[in-house]
Copies of this chain bind each other. A is one copy, B any other.
């Protein structure tokens, strides 16, 4: 049967070359492919369906907090992008410019949106007059473009898909609360639906989003020990709104400043799913967002009753809301097994003449690669339970990995040793000074600040020895 495992054999072992393993998994699982448009990807059915499931689950969580979806233009006139100076400095070097429309050369250039804060502020200026018009709690699912030099599937590409939420509030407190609330929504979604454990907290000054007062981040640990920023939530204070002359009449009829937030999660998160859960056989998908949750493979399908029984199971599982497919193609069972494994489908059900005789099916779990048999009675209920078990155990497994790869350093020497010998996060105290932050990164070969832990700092900065202001998670990052 080994020889039939064509697709799996094409995957480089993860321990041998992590980057190549990643690319192999993306290609063999047919998630996306390179297009002939430099730096842009074609999202193929297997990959795009994961994104659709992410959208569905995350959007439901947004709706529950009062978010409304909208759609704003993909083009931003140059003068609009320039209105908030930190923002333009952050984005100008990496935007694409439209200079020609049809036959005419444009008087003013448009950039393709790298993000849409400026468009939302520009509209709010027009439509917000009174406290009655607030808050605005809007979100859009769209694509953005940043003119990146190098490209890696899902992790970095010129065009990518994401959601960007933008909100406007009457008070600073309300805006800050929304910023934290959305960071919590991401935390819940990623840990519960994607089974990815996270560390979270504020970004340092130097790592904040262009123009933001505070940036909250959730960071996941990949299997190679590098961190991946998985979603961010920004508090802008009133800087953006002031730059766009947004003011509203409060209940006392006084002109007041408004406070803005934005928050986003992109297709990068698919890269995290691959690098957190994947193994040498390919992708391993958390059941909550797997396009197909169960693949049925008939064994000796030509024998009487096998295909009928397989089809009966297919319908019964689908009717129970379990996303199930039956592979009744003329490929060999071994080839079908390999395909199910490389695509990360959580459960494989094998059914053959012997299973039918014994009134059972054979089950193979993708996450553990364990096989077992279960009786046909109440199969849908059992499979539903098993999917939830898999979801929970995948989270536990990766949480253990995260805990085992999170170290504490109380001196710089200790941190340097850990940085040279281990991969993962290192927790260490910091004074809040940008120079120390940079030096720590330099002297540990790239352990930059990922986020500021919420725990109270004690003692002194491991670099300068002055009083510590924060405990920081340090790590290498994608």
Residues in chain A within 8 A of chain B (CB atoms) = 33, 35-37, 40-45, 48-49, 51-52, 68-77, 80, 93-103, 109-110, 112, 119, 122-123, 126-127, 138, 142-143, 145, 147, 158-159, 161
14 A-B residue pairs with Cβ-Cβ distance under 8 Å, sorted by A, are: A35-B72, A36-B77, A36-B122, A37-B73, A42-B70, A44-B70, A45-B68, A45-B69, A51-B71, A97-B98, A97-B100, A97-B101, A99-B100, A112-B112
Q: A94 and B99 in contact (CB under 8 A), knowing A33-B127, A45-B68, A161-B71?
A: no
Q: A69 and B97 in contact (CB under 8 A), knowing A76-B37, A77-B37?
A: no
Task: Name the B residues within 8 Å of A52 (CB-CB).
Answer: 69
A138 & B35 in contact (Cβ 8 Å cutoff): no
A73 & B42 in contact (Cβ 8 Å cutoff): yes
Q: Which B-chain residue is minimally distant from A59 (CB atoms)?
A: B52
B45 & A159 in contact (Cβ 8 Å cutoff): no
**Copies of this chain in its oligomeric complex:** 2
> When the two chains form the complex, which single residue of B69, B112, B122, B143 contacts A98, counting CB atoms closer than 8 Å?
B112
A103 & B96 in contact (Cβ 8 Å cutoff): no
Q: Which B-chain residue is minimally distant from A138 (CB atoms)?
A: B45
Task: Name the B residues within 8 Å of A143 (CB-CB).
Answer: 71, 74, 142
- Bound-complex Cα distance A97 to B82 (A): 21
Q: Shortest beta-carbon distance, A94 to chain B, in Å?
A: 5
- Bound-complex Cα distance A145 to B101 (A): 10
Q: Shortest beta-carbon distance, A139 to chain B, in Å?
A: 10
Task: Name the B residues within 8 Å of A95 (CB-CB).
Answer: 102
Q: Shortest beta-carbon distance, A74 to chain B, in Å?
A: 6
Task: Name the B residues within 8 Å of A43 (CB-CB).
Answer: 70-72
B122 & A73 in contact (Cβ 8 Å cutoff): no
B147 & A101 in contact (Cβ 8 Å cutoff): yes
> When the two chains form the complex, which single residue of B35, B70, B96 contacts A119, counting CB atoms closer than 8 Å?
B35
- Nearest 9 interchain pairs by C-beta: A40-B73, A45-B68, A97-B100, A43-B71, A102-B147, A101-B147, A37-B73, A99-B99, A96-B98
Q: A73 and B35 in contact (CB under 8 A), knowing A94-B102, A97-B99, A100-B96?
A: yes
- Bound-complex Cα distance A100 to B73 (A): 19
- Bound-complex Cα distance A298 to B44 (A): 49
Q: A74 and B71 in contact (CB under 8 A), knowing A103-B93, A110-B37?
A: no
Q: Which B-chain residue is minimally distant from A77 (CB atoms)?
A: B37
Task: Name the B residues within 8 Å of A70 (CB-CB).
Answer: 42-45, 48
Q: Shortest beta-carbon distance, A56 to chain B, in Å?
A: 10
Task: Name the B residues within 8 Å of A98 (CB-CB).
Answer: 96-99, 112
- Bound-complex Cα distance A318 to B333 (A): 46
Q: A73 and B112 in contact (CB under 8 A), knowing A35-B122, A97-B100?
A: no
- Bound-complex Cα distance A33 to B119 (A): 13
Q: Which B-chain residue is minimally distant from A95 (CB atoms)?
A: B102
A72 & B42 in contact (Cβ 8 Å cutoff): yes
> When the two chains form the complex, which single residue of B42, B75, B110, B126 contacts A123, counting CB atoms closer than 8 Å?
B42
Task: Name the B residues within 8 Å of A40 (CB-CB).
Answer: 73-75
- Bound-complex Cα distance A69 to B138 (A): 25
- Bound-complex Cα distance A71 to B142 (A): 11
